[in-house]
Amino acid sequence: MTTAQACPCGSGKTLADCCDRYHRGEAAHTPETLMRSRYSAFVLNLTDYLRETWAAGSRPDSLPPDETTRWVRLDILDHGEQDDTGWVQFRATFLEGRRWGVLEEASRFVREGGRWFYLDGRPTVTRLKPGRNAPCPCGSGRKFKSCCGAG
Ligand SMILES: [Zn+2]
Ligand SMILES: [Zn+2]
């Protein structure tokens, strides 16, 4: 993947004009921006960035790369901030092999030293069984059978 391609977070911008700058160290201004850049980091398997943007108190000691989950779509449902705390509710659609799932989470964020960090969240995972004529879960707007469900 190059930075001239569409950003994985679904913003409609290129990766260069969107999440890449945060992956390179620029501070994300809002919890939503940080959430998008973290989602893109999951897509691109940037585990160092994921750890660096985790609040110190809840940061995992190590974060092994996940080669089996393919994240295909992000929907931000709600987000906001008050003083140094923030929240983002999102839905992330993924594929594990040929199995579809949706992870929905209300994430909490904290601002420390002027930077936002991911604190924690309560994820719920729902399995999807897209019908052949249903809209494709990847968000392409096409039918499943003529998109990710083809072949
Ligand atoms: Zn982005
Ligand atoms: Zn699709």
Q: What percent of the chain has pLDDT over 70?
A: 100
pLDDT tens-place string over residues 118-138: 999 999 999 999 999 999 999
Starting from the CA of residue 35, give the closest ligand.
1
Cα 85 to middle of ligand 2, angstroms: 35
Separation of alpha carbons 48 and 8, rounded Å:
18
Starting from the CA of residue 34, give the closest ligand.
1
Q: CB 39: neighbour CB atoms within 10 A?
A: 22
Cα 40 to middle of ligand 1, angstroms: 6
What mean pLDDT is predicted for residues 45-59?
95
CB neighbour list of residue 87: distance below 8 Å, 6 or more residues apart = 31, 78, 79, 80, 81, 106, 107, 108, 109
Starting from the CA of residue 145, give the closest ligand.
2
Q: What percent of the chain has pLDDT over 90?
A: 90
Cα 141 to middle of ligand 2, angstroms: 8
What mean pLDDT is predicted for residues 94-100?
94
